[in-house]
Amino acid sequence: MGTASIFDEVPDIYKNRDVLSHRFIPDELPHRDREIRELASYLKHALKGYTPPNLLILGHTGTGKTVTVKKVLNELAKVAGNIVDISYVIANGTPFQVLNDIAYELNPQVNFRGISFKEAWNRFKKILSKEKVTIVVLDEVDKMLFHGSDLLYFLSREEKICTIALSNKINVMDLINDKRVLSSFNPIKIVFPKYNAIQLQDILQYRAKMAFYEGVLDEEVIPLCASLAALEREGDARYALDLLLYAGDEAIRQGSNKVTAQHVKIARRKVEEDFIKQSILNLSLVQKFLLLAVLRNEGASPREIYSICNEYLLKYRGETLSHRRLSSLLSDLELYGFVIYVRRGRGRGMGTAWQIYLNDTLDRKIVEEALKESILKDL
C-alpha cells in the first residue's frame, strides 16, 4: 500500500491544462478556415522556391492572428523540408533589437551587440541561405514602428525574404512616414474579424474536450465565458480561454471536482486584474506616461495631457514629442479601452471642449500600481 501524498487530496479535473494556454496550437481553429486558406495560398509559393508576397495581418486582440499564422507556418515547415527558413519574433523594441532577435532565431550563434544597424544588417545577410526562402514574422509590429521603419525597408528589398507583420492596430501603416518603406513593403492585408458569442462557444467547447475530463464543467460555464468575452472584450478569444482556465484553477483551489458559474465569476476578477496589468505592460513608454497623466489629471484637455506627458518625457528621457504624435498615441489608448473622451459645453456661444478620463470600467488602483511597476522597468 503506497504512502499517501498531499497531492492525492487535490481534485483532478484537467486532462491537459496546457490546451487552454495562448501558446498552444490546436489541430483545428474553429471559424478561421478562410484565413488559413488565404495564408496558405500565399505561402505555398515558397514550396517552389519563390518568394511569397509580404503580408499584413490585422485584427483586434484575441481574434486568432498569432495562432493562425503559427499553425500555417508549422504546416509549411513540415512539408517544405529544407527549403524554407522561418523566424518568428515579437517586434517589441528598436529595429536593431528586432533584427538581432530575427537573426538569433535563424542562428543562435549570432550576436550583433556593439555594432551599428548597417553593419548588423550586412552580417545578417551573410547568414541567409541563397537557396532557401526566409519567412520573417514580426508580431506586434506597431511596437517596433514607433522606433522606426528601417528594418521593414531592408527586409522588403532583400531577395528571398517574405515579411509577415501582425498588429492589433488597424491603422498601423500610418506609423510609417517614409514613402520608400511604404512602397517597398506594400503588403497584402488580411483582416481577422471579431468572434461573436456563438463562435467563442465553439472555440471553448473544442478546447474544453481536450482540457477537462468529461462531466467536470457545468453546462452554464462555457456559455458564460463566451458571453463575457463577447460583451466585455469585443470577442476576445484569449480572454474567454483565460476565464475558463482560471475558473478551473479556482475550482481546484476550493477543492471542487466541478467547475461552476460561481468559479467563472471569481475568475473574472482575477483575469481582469491580470488583463489590465498585461495590457499596460504591452504599451510603449510614451503611452504609459500618457495614461499616467490622464489618471492623475482626469478631466484635463488633450493639450494639457500632452504637456504633462512631455514633462515626464523630458525628465526621464530627455526628449519631447509633437502634439500630433501624442494625439495619435492617446487615440490608441481610447481604442484599447483605457481612456474616454467626454465632450463638454463651454457655455452659450463658447463652443465645446474635450476632456479625458480614465475608462470607468477599469479599477484605478490596479491601473496605478501596474503603471508604476511597468514604467520603472522601462526607465
The region that residue 114 occupies, defined by phi over 0 for left and psi between -120 and 50 for alpha, beta otherwise, is: left
Which sequence spans correspond to the domains of the chain? 6-14+195-280, 32-191, 284-378
**In residues, how long is the chain?**
379
Question: Bigger pLDDT: 9 or 47?
Answer: 47
331 pLDDT band, cuts 50/70/90, is confident
- Choose between 174 and 191: higher pLDDT: 191
What CATH number has the domain spanning 6-14+195-280?
Answer: 1.10.8.60
pLDDT on residue 351: 64
376 vs 358: which has the higher pLDDT: 358
Q: What kind of fold does domain 284-378 have according to CATH?
A: Arc Repressor Mutant, subunit A (1.10.10)
pLDDT value at residue 250: 96
Taking only the tens place, the pLDDT of each residue in 298-313 is 999 999 999 999 999 9
- Maximum pairwise Cα distance, the chain: 88
pLDDT tens readout for residues 250-297: 999 999 999 999 999 999 988 888 888 888 988 889 999 999 999 999
Tell me if 165 sits within 8 A of 202, measured CB to CB. Answer: no
Instruction: Pick the closest to residue 229 from 279, 267, 191, 257 (CA basis).
Output: 267
- The answer to whether 379 and 289 have CB atoms below 8 angstroms apart is no
Give me the residue label for grid cell 486568432.
Answer: 64
What is the pTM assigned to this prediction? 0.82
* pLDDT confidence of residue 349: 59
Considering only CA atoms, give the Rg of the chain: 23
Q: How far is CA 69 from CA 40, 86, 141, 195, 327, in A?
A: 9, 12, 14, 17, 32
Alpha helices in 217-260 (DSSP H): 221-232, 237-253
Please count the CA atoms within 13 angstroms of the CA of 125 that sit on its side-chain side. 12
Q: Which residues pair with 88 in a beta bridge?
A: 137
Q: Write the single-letter amino acid at 376.
A: L
Instruction: Give the per-residue pLDDT at 326.
Output: 93
- Fold held by 32-191: Rossmann fold (3.40.50)
